[in-house]
């Protein structure tokens, strides 16, 4: 099978003893699918779905090599032999689709706490990680030997479990990185000081693991090309380490990454605010220095970008993780020439990366199957019905898609001239355009499935009944709801007040001194503030909370938001509750001290909770027809909630 327009992407490659059929790697990432330290059935189903979807190679999430390493609750404890049956379940499931799978093994070193292990954290030097904030125990020689032996032991478990190769994570969250980096290794013995000394443990581990697995399994080393921290490893030294690894002659490939998973995580799993391919300089530099195949990573969203990275010689393989989280069939669709059918990742980080830090299972904002692969998909219906969906936002479209796939007769009524609802508006602000892909993807699926969407139809009960529905799904979204302190009518000389939606839709154009009130803690306030600052407004964001845009931390957008906000002169003020307006002023209460404060303003823009647009639902309910309500019409929440509601209801009607 040729790759059509993707000549490089679909050329096979040998990695040690393993041959892969294409250059796309589903590289290692946390899933939080482990149960009691063991790989789960969900793990197997998750990886198998990507194997079935045609990925060239799968590298699993990390398996811990030692009890001192337990940084997050749902870690796979590879050092327990009990993991082997779970490994076997994963590898059998993946091999059924003819795809090789490697296991990543690791010790997170000082990038951990003792919360779960109730043991001291181990690291080269007693330097606390800035996220975990726990001073580690400086490992002695005996403990170093124990770590090395742990790698070998886990490698033997992986071999017994049927893996085709092993990857050593020596990059963004690893005790090996800890040793390699001058920022975290201040030892004065044989394991500190010169680069060779700092790399000693890495070479010892490679040797021990190769000794254990023999030559039948591939062995890779993943290196951090730039830690992006003070005094940390940068690309020149990373290249030198890659050369040392190659000279040792025991390793089959080099994988790469950027950043440190705790202090500069926002650059490892960069959101849509960071340009695609931002980390390509790393494999590029390493590939120039070594013969081994090199994997490049860093927000590869579509096969075209991946193809170009290969064609330009930056790397031999391309890691596409989020792209395949969003669409398990990413590779198969590219190979078949149906690139447009790929459900593009938004790089929103809301339900994949964002959930990892919260100790929740990995999902996807736009793919309700992700994280639920172990469950059967909704069954095809035996009683096809006429399903009328009101509203073509993410929830409505998702419900329509599932209902249609199950064999129902589906029509969608949308009052606007375009699909997407609030998601479409959210994408109009600077740096957020990719969010609009959720609308494109869903709309594309609707069209592909032949779902009729009637635009410009403001449905009321009569319109709906005229469709002779078997069942109605109300996905009418939410409406802005002004807080109690907003005067019902604009007061004389008072600041003008509008909702963020008005600004995004262009129905309000604030100017001059603008205060944006952030009660939602997500992109609504910050992105509108940026938009208005770009339009030369003097912008201040005010929140009753302790941080503006608090949840931007979850999606790794907080750092870059703060950098942009400073550059755009946006002022951020916390602990302030809006109390009312008077001519030219906004009255606020500083709640920790009880002080009243004022701002001189021309405009107040509200990012506050909305109200469900549920009139139609209750009208239909009263008429006694079967009606379901999803998304914001049920309770105004984020896009993912709408998609999940749509999937659930579409699956049961």
The residues that touch another protein, with contacts defined as CB under 8 A, are 72-73, 114-115, 118, 120-121, 126-128, 130, 133-138, 140, 355, 358-360, 481, 519-521, 546-547, 558-559, 562-563, 566-567, 575, 592-593, 609-612, 634-637, 641, 644-645, 648
Evaluate whether 138 touches 124 at the Cβ level (below 8 Å): yes
Identity of the residue, 220 or 393, whose beta carbon is nearer to another protein in the bound complex: 393
Identity of the residue, 179 or 561, whose beta carbon is nearer to another protein in the bound complex: 561
Number of H helices, E strands in the chain: 21, 27
Least distance to another protein from the beta carbon of 121, Å?
A: 7
- The arrangement of strands across the sheet holding 496-499 comes to 496-499, 603-607, 513-518, 538-542, 571-573
Rounded to whole angstroms, the Cα distance separating 396 from 653 reads 13
Least distance to another protein from the beta carbon of 592, Å?
A: 4
Rounded to whole angstroms, the Cα distance separating 223 from 225 reads 6
Least distance to another protein from the beta carbon of 9, Å?
A: 35
Identity of the residue, 13 or 461, whose beta carbon is nearer to another protein in the bound complex: 461
Identity of the residue, 230 or 291, whose beta carbon is nearer to another protein in the bound complex: 230
Identity of the residue, 72 or 281, whose beta carbon is nearer to another protein in the bound complex: 72
Rounded to whole angstroms, the Cα distance separating 66 from 590 reads 49
Least distance to another protein from the beta carbon of 140, Å?
A: 6
Identity of the residue, 427 or 548, whose beta carbon is nearer to another protein in the bound complex: 548
3-state secondary structure at position 15 = strand
Evaluate whether 387 touches 653 at the Cβ level (below 8 Å): yes
Percentages helix, strand, coil for the chain (3-state, rounded to 5) are: 35, 20, 45
Phi-psi region for residue 15, left (φ > 0), alpha (ψ -120 to 50) or beta? beta
Identity of the residue, 376 or 546, whose beta carbon is nearer to another protein in the bound complex: 546
Distance of CA 309 to the CA centre of its chain: 22
Least distance to another protein from the beta carbon of 505, Å?
A: 21
- Other CB atoms closer than 10 Å to residue 505's CB: what's the count? 15
Identity of the residue, 380 or 563, whose beta carbon is nearer to another protein in the bound complex: 563
Return the residue matching tokens 């059935």: 41
Least distance to another protein from the beta carbon of 547, Å?
A: 5
Least distance to another protein from the beta carbon of 118, Å?
A: 6
Identity of the residue, 428 or 481, whose beta carbon is nearer to another protein in the bound complex: 481
Rounded to whole angstroms, the Cα distance separating 581 from 8 reads 62
Q: What residues form DSSP beta bridges with 452?
A: 411
Least distance to another protein from the beta carbon of 44, Å?
A: 19
Eight-class DSSP state of 151: H
Give the burial class of 345: count Cβ atoms within 10 A of its Cβ; 0-12 exposed, 13-18 middle, 19 or more buried.
Answer: buried
Identity of the residue, 359 or 598, whose beta carbon is nearer to another protein in the bound complex: 359
Q: Which of 66, 34, 250 is nearest to 142 (CA)?
A: 66
Q: Where are the beta strands (DSSP E) in 350-451?
A: 386-390, 409-414
**And the tokens for 57?**
């190679």
Exposure string over 231-263, b if 16+ CB within 10 A, otherwise e: ebbebebbbebbebbbeeebbbbbbbbbbbbbb
Identity of the residue, 256 or 370, whose beta carbon is nearer to another protein in the bound complex: 370
Evaluate whether 71 touches 111 at the Cβ level (below 8 Å): yes
Rounded to whole angstroms, the Cα distance separating 451 from 414 reads 13
Least distance to another protein from the beta carbon of 10, Å?
A: 36
Identity of the residue, 134 or 467, whose beta carbon is nearer to another protein in the bound complex: 134
Rounded to whole angstroms, the Cα distance separating 542 from 60 reads 43
Least distance to another protein from the beta carbon of 34, Å?
A: 13
Rounded to whole angstroms, the Cα distance separating 121 from 128 reads 10
Least distance to another protein from the beta carbon of 521, Å?
A: 5
Least distance to another protein from the beta carbon of 357, Å?
A: 8
Give the burial class of 50: count Cβ atoms within 10 A of its Cβ; 0-12 exposed, 13-18 middle, 19 or more buried.
Answer: buried
Rounded to whole angstroms, the Cα distance separating 85 from 558 reads 41
Q: Which of 57, 103, 24 is nearest to 318 (CA)?
A: 24
Least distance to another protein from the beta carbon of 129, Å?
A: 10
Identity of the residue, 490 or 567, whose beta carbon is nearer to another protein in the bound complex: 567
């Amino acid at each position: 099978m040729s790759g059509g327009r993707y000549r490089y992407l679909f050329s096979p490659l040998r990695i040690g003893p393993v041959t892969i059929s294409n250059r796309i790697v589903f590289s290692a990432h946390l899933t939080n699918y482990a149960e009691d330290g063991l790989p789960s059935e969900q793990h197997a189903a998750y990886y198998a779905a990507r194997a079935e979807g045609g990925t060239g190679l799968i590298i699993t999430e990390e398996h811990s090599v030692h009890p001192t390493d337990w940084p997050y609750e749902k870690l796979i404890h590879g050092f327990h032999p009990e993991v082997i049956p779970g490994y076997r379940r994963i590898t059998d499931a993946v091999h059924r689709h003819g795809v090789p799978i490697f296991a990543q093994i690791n010790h997170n070193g000082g990038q951990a706490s003792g919360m779960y292990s109730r043991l001291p954290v181990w690291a080269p030097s007693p330097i606390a990680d800035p996220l975990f904030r726990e001073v580690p125990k400086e490992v002695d020689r005996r403990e170093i030997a124990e770590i090395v032996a742990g790698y070998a032991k886990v490698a033997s478990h992986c071999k017994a479990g049927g893996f085709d190769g092993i990857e050593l994570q020596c990059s963004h969250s690893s005790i090996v990185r800890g040793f390699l980096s001058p920022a975290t290794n201040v030892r004065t013995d044989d394991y500190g000081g010169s680069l060779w000394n700092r790399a000693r443990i890495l070479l010892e581990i490679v040797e021990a693991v190769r000794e254990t697995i023999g030559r039948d399994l591939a062995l890779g080393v993943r290196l951090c090309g730039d830690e992006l921290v003070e005094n940390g490893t940068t690309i020149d030294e990373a290249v030198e380490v890659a050369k040392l690894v190659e000279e040792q002659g025991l390793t089959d490939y080099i994988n790469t990454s950027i950043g440190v998973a705790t202090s500069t995580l926002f650059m490892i799993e960069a959101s849509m605010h960071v340009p695609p391919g931002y980390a390509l300089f790393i494999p590029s530099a390493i590939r120039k220095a070594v013969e081994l195949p090199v994997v490049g990573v860093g927000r590869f969203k579509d096969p075209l970008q991946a193809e170009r990275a290969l064609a330009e010689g930056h790397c031999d393989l391309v890691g596409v993780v989020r792209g395949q989280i969003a669409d398990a069939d990413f590779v198969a669709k590219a190979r078949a020439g149906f690139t447009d059918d790929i459900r593009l990742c938004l790089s929103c980080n809301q339900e994949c990366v964002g959930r990892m830090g919260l100790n929740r299972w990995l999902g996807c904002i736009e793919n309700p199957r992700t994280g639920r692969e172990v469950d059967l998909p909704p069954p095809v219906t035996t009683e096809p019905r006429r399903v009328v969906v009101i509203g073509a936002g993410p929830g409505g479209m998702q419900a329509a898609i599932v209902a249609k796939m199950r064999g129902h007769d589906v029509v969608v009524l949308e009052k606007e001239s375009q699909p997407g609802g609030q998601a479409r508006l959210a994408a109009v602000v600077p740096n957020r355009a990719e969010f609009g892909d959720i609308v494109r993807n869903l709309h594309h699926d609707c069209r592909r499935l032949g779902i009729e969407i009637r635009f410009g139809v403001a449905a009321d009960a009569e319109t709906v009944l005229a469709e002779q529905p078997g069942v109605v799904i109300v996905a009418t979204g939410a409406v802005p709801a002004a807080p109690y302190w907003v005067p019902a009518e604009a007061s004389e000389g008072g600041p003008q007040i509008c909702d963020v939606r008005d600004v995004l839709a262009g129905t309000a154009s604030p100017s001059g001194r603008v205060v944006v009130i952030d009660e939602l803690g997500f992109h609504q306030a910050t992105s509108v503030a940026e938009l208005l600052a770009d339009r030369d407004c003097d912008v201040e964001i005010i929140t009753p909370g302790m941080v503006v845009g608090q949840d931007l931390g979850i999606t790794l957008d907080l750092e870059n938001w703060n950098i942009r906000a400073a550059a755009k002169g946006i002022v951020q003020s916390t602990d302030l509750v809006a109390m009312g307006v008077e001519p030219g002023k906004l009255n606020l209460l500083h709640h920790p001290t009880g002080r009243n404060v004022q701002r001189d303003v021309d405009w107040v823009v509200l990012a506050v909770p909305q109200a469900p647009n549920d009139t139609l639902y209750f009208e239909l309910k009263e008429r006694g027809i079967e009606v379901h309500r999803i998304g914001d019409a049920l309770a105004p929440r984020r896009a993912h909630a709408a998609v999940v509601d749509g999937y659930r209801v579409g699956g049961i009607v």
